Amino acid sequence: MTAWTEAEQKRIAEIQEQRSCTRANAIRRLQAEKKAPSEAKVKAQLKADLDRATAPKLAVVKKAKAPKMPGKTERLAIAAKEGTSELEVYLELCKKFGRTPAASAVKRHKALKDGK
């Protein structure tokens, strides 16, 4: 006894006649038909893909980058121009850019101030 419904048995017989193939091949064809998406689903998916592709793109607003703090070589050049130490230039730039200076730099600055 088979687990095929009467409708499936008829469809297997139709496939065998149309394609002049064996029952096993007709059954494979029937199983493939069951797995294949319906035309309505395929059309709906194509329409959704097309709508997505043709939809207007929203503009991406880029944030302005914060200005970069000068590196060590640039700070040395500024210090030479102003006649101060690189450490003082570093601490001033930290205040200007709203950054917390390194603890070691603050400690060195304090030591230099107290040593003078």
The reported pTM is 0.43
What pLDDT, in 10s, does the model give residues 65-96? 878 888 889 989 999 999 988 998 999 999 98
Residue 30 makes CB contacts below 8 A (sequence gap 6+) with 8, 11, 12, 15
What pLDDT, in 10s, does the model give residues 7-33? 889 999 999 999 999 999 999 988 888
Question: Under a CB-based contact definition with an 8 Å cutoff, are residues 89 and 95 in contact?
Answer: no
For residue 34, the SS3 value is helix
Closest CA to 75 of 67, 88, 91, 86: 86
Question: Under a CB-based contact definition with an 8 Å cutoff, are residues 67 and 97 in contact?
Answer: yes
